[in-house]
Structure 1
Amino acid sequence: MDPILRRNRMPTARMAVQQLGPQLLNGCFHEADRADMVGLNLQGLRNCLSEQFHAHLSGVIEEIFNTSRLLRDLAEQAQIHVSQLPAVFDYLNVILPCLCKTLRDIMSFYEDKSMNKEHRWRTMYHKLGNELPGTTLPARFIMYNQFLRLLQELLTRRSPNFDLNGMESLRLRILQLRAARKIPPPSPIRTDLLRRDEALEFWNRETNSHWAEAIFTQPLPSRREFKHQGRSDAFGPLQQLGHLPPLPRDVKILVKRSFDNDRISVIFFLQLRDQTPSLLIRSKDASRIWVSVRGAHELSIRRENDSVLLLSRWSRSEQKAKPWAILSFLTWEEMVLFYCTFLCLRVRSQLTLNVNPAEFRLRKERRLFQAQIIDDGYRHVLMVFEDSVTGGCRLHAAVWEGKLRACPIWTAFIPPNVSSSWLLRKSKRHIWLRDIQPYVFWEEYRPTNQRKGPFGAFELAFANSEAATRFQELFASSPDVSAASAAPESSERNDRAEEAD
């Protein structure tokens, strides 16, 4: 596929989306695949060379893989932010041909059997590094990646301080490199499509971050890997990349998760106008890219086997549930977080009519404990689950009653081999837990309000002392209440006041 995109006339925004979108997005994936292949070959070359060459080679390899990731991210985000495609088209037409030639030149040097491997690397590094003064081979890919990151910001309009001058400086630098390599000049940039006022307006609506954006950014306290891995797949109905109907302009990408070495990816996004969540799945089959979009309210979720979650849709024509996607996870923790994230987005969507009660339980988990707690001023149900596959344990808080009953509020993974100081009974109804990091699924819940003491222990305030005792007994290594400090804490004073009433 020729990555150089040509245009005979200046299309309108709608025509650009319809005519150029599929070619543009597939061009990004095509070059991402090429970058992966080049990176893997350079890894093999590095393994054959002495250690003195490793540092420079490793720097180039790392940036090439970053290029691949950025190109895929950009193409997937463009599928959601289709209305912004015209603004990035001309910029992509600047970088893609130059990037393509760089990758092809690297492969030409790599495959040149007339030189030994050390000479191939030296020649590649110096010849490509001398094409544009002041731009070594690693610096060239750093330049490409800075440009691609700015393109992502332009596409998603996620920064009010978008550096248009920085993008223009990088564009001119890439054009100099194109000229030095005798690549024909691209079409002129259509500056009328770059509307900063619109980006600022969008940013003002978007500044309040969504809880889902933080879920997969927190480090996992443990990683309980599944022994047996399944295969991820997308069933759709699927359409070729770039052929989906345009989505509303005001959308916010929340989460992206990749499966099977990025052969499959799932993006959660929010339509800001009505706050309705949707999912986009992207699948690669041979050389073709396929996508499908469904509202969270149109899907259901269940654990199919040890490491696999099944997302199903309802087929009106066949009047039965059919698979939309199967997703295989490496760890139990990541499965739990994906499950809870999807479930909360679906339950809280205003388009969701009903939820099967079975969806509130992750199959193959055993409930060890359940009781009511007072949590950040709310009444929640606290449960302890043990996974029968990995043996992992977690705390799980959910809505106690009402329309959203059983909807997850937070979950926290219990570290393996916790020390004796992990649990502390501070009073009849209050227990402090150390080294607990809750993953929160509701924007109004504030876990900091439950942090107590100089070490920021997480406080569980049970509705009655009997429940606190049962929870303490569940963990045999917990110290007795006498281990608490002699001076009564605020939680203990609250217990005494309630007993006096």
Structure 2
Amino acid sequence: MEFITDAILPTETLLLQGCSTEADRADIVAGGLDKLRTTLSESFHGQLINLAEEIRSTSRLLRDLADRSQIHRSRVPIVLNHLNVVLPCLQRTLRDITGYYEDKTLSRETRWRKMYNKMTEEAGGLALPRRFSLYNHFLALLKQLLTRSPHFDLNTLESLRTRLITLREQRGIPPPPLQVGPVVRQDLMSLTAVQEPDAHWAEQIFSLPLPSRTALRHLKSCKSYGPWFPRGHLYIPPGSIILFQRVFDNDQLSILVFLNSVNQSPYLLVRTSQAGIPWFSLRGAHELCIGREGSALQLKRWSLSEQCSKLWAALYFLTWEEMVLFYCTFVALKARNTLTVQVHPGEFRLQREKRLFQAQIIDDGYKHSLIVYEDLQTRGIRLHAAVWEGELRQCPVWTAFVTHQSQSRTWLSRRSRHRVWLKDVQLYVFCSAYRQENMRQNKSGAFEIYFVSEEGATRFREVFSMPPSPAPSETNEAAAGPSN
């Protein structure tokens, strides 16, 4: 493995590295509390579970803040003074907890009682779980400040900062310096972002709730294959917009997708860690190819030095639904990217899916191909609309997961020779021009599908009148292979 390093660490790098370090420490502390809980009577479990969950939230917030700082680098100076307030206090708290639960001179119950009572007393009566709630509220506001969220509240931030300064004094931590890092320019102090009239469609995909959660099997740890760079060594143009972020393996690996402000193209930033130090790798969607291997999506890049395709990242998803959404989102971003030279036809098909049905439809005024896919591993079924013709042929337009509600007699109804209505179906749309509300112009709000041929409407209905396929055995699933 080859890492690119730099011995010179500016203040902002040290503080952001501190976020990663304390995130790792928080995970270790939460795990230690879990082990302590298993040795105590059930009457203590509630408080211990609550505390461990708050600490895990702290870990997630710290990593998220550090990850997003890569995109919003011009605004990092704004949060440095605030980070310098919270990080020393948080570090002391985590170390104190470790000292208590590792004190083998005391019984485990006494360790917990002493930890909880002493640490509550030293904080002026602020209970230990509430102390982490304070940290988490403060970190969440810093994230909003960094990203110029319209929900940011400066008064609340200042109020929490005062409480943290008091907590530092109670713990004997010296006051922070008035200024760390560069002096903040006045033009960076704008607190709210300019709201675009229409957000990018990719910003919405993972904010919608999943109608079902179908577990995938044979999961492994996700992996990034590099090349890697330290924090701050990858150039990301100011004004770039984060589209979404997904985390894996308890936040040990994350992938952040953003829109480059210079060329308006999507890029993927992967964060992994080695020996507790975060490392980053960056690639444009147009530089990557995607494919499925079991429960993982593999992203590959072209190596100029070796003149061959090499793995860039392997992402294992907990649910089939999230795998599908990531796959379709990536393919749509890549296909609609002006920097993309060509999308291999195989990338438009998610492997290990069986096509049960396909027909042409008229959808919001466009010609689309409607396909019903069945996943060979989970037997999950989904609807998939794709571009029918032209340069973007086969590019995903929307997908919808068929849930248990399809078993209701009222879920699907034939309204005419060419029209079918679906009730209780949630679309995930991968196109800015598509407006699904135009296909819900009826009193019940059902989604209307207009088939070009009457036969298509008939066969579509027949697909959902057939009994579901039996779950595959391990042997049959392995033998099925990719569906082409």
**TM superposition score normalised by structure 1:** 0.86
- In structure 2, the partner of 1:246 is 235
Equivalent residue in structure 1 for 2:215, among 225, 228, 236 = 225
By how many angstroms is 1:104 displaced? 0.8
Equivalent residue in structure 2 for 1:310, among 292, 298, 301 = 298
Q: How does 1:129-144 map to 2 (within 5 A)?
A: 129-144=120-135
By how many angstroms is 1:261 displaced? 2.9
Work out the CA distance in 2 between the residues paired with 1:236 and 1:128.
Answer: 43
- In structure 2, the partner of 1:150 is 141
Work out the CA distance in 1 between the residues paired with 2:181 and 2:297.
Answer: 45
Q: Which amino acid aligns with 1:99?
A: L
Work out the CA distance in 1 between the residues paired with 2:177 and 2:238.
Answer: 26
Q: Tell which structure's C-alpha radius of gyration is larger.
A: 1
Work out the CA distance in 2 between the residues paired with 1:98 and 1:397.
Answer: 52
SS of the residue 2:213 aligns to:
coil
Partners of 1:365 and 1:387 within 8 A in 2: yes
By how many angstroms is 1:259 displaced? 2.1
- In structure 2, the partner of 1:499 is none
Partners of 1:83 and 1:246 within 8 A in 2: no
SS of the residue 1:36 aligns to:
helix
Q: How does 1:84-483 map to 2 (within 5 A)?
A: 84-159=75-150, 162-189=152-179, 198=188, 200=190, 203-206=193-196, 208-240=198-230, 242-303=231-292, 305-416=293-404, 418-451=407-440, 453-476=442-465
- In structure 2, the partner of 1:492 is none
Question: Larger deviation: 108-117 or 334-343?
Answer: 108-117
Equivalent residue in structure 2 for 1:74, among 34, 47, 65 = 65
Partners of 2:65 and 2:143 within 8 A in 1: yes
Q: Which amino acid aligns with 1:277?
A: P
Work out the CA distance in 2 between the residues paired with 1:219 and 1:202.
Answer: 26
Work out the CA distance in 2 between the residues paired with 1:318 and 1:252.
Answer: 33
Question: Larger deviation: 283-292 or 92-101?
Answer: 283-292
- In structure 2, the partner of 1:28 is 19
**TM superposition score normalised by structure 2:** 0.89
Question: Larger deviation: 242-251 or 333-342?
Answer: 242-251
SS of the residue 1:108 aligns to:
helix
By how many angstroms is 1:369 displaced? 1.6
Question: Larger deviation: 394-403 or 450-459?
Answer: 450-459
- 1:19 to 2:10 alignment: yes
Q: Which amino acid aligns with 2:399?
A: T
SS of the residue 2:297 aligns to:
strand
Q: Which amino acid aligns with 1:116?
A: S
Partners of 1:236 and 1:324 within 8 A in 2: yes
- Identify which of structures 1 and 2 has the higher relative contact order when contacts are C-alpha pairs closer than 8 Å and 6+ apart: 2
- In structure 1, the partner of 2:34 is 43
Partners of 1:419 and 1:477 within 8 A in 2: no
SS of the residue 1:420 aligns to:
coil
By how many angstroms is 1:201 displaced? 8.6
SS of the residue 2:385 aligns to:
strand
Q: Which amino acid aligns with 2:437?
A: T
How many equivalent residue pairs?
460
Partners of 1:360 and 1:407 within 8 A in 2: yes
Change (3 A) 1:445 1:264: same
Work out the CA distance in 2 between the residues paired with 1:444 and 1:148.
Answer: 36
Q: Percent identity?
A: 52
Change (3 A) 1:350 1:77: same
Work out the CA distance in 1 between the residues paired with 2:48 and 2:318.
Answer: 30
CA deviation string 1:429-482 (max 9, x = no partner): 00111232111111222222222555432111111212111212222269xxxx
Partners of 1:78 and 1:85 within 8 A in 2: yes
Gaps of at least 5 residues in structure 1 are: 1-16, 479-501
SS of the residue 1:52 aligns to:
helix
Partners of 2:238 and 2:261 within 8 A in 1: no
CA deviation string 1:190-222 (max 9, x = no partner): 799556864659711556322222212222222
By how many angstroms is 1:383 displaced? 0.9
Partners of 1:91 and 1:189 within 8 A in 2: no
Change (3 A) 1:434 1:205: closer
RMSD: 2.4
SS of the residue 1:152 aligns to:
helix
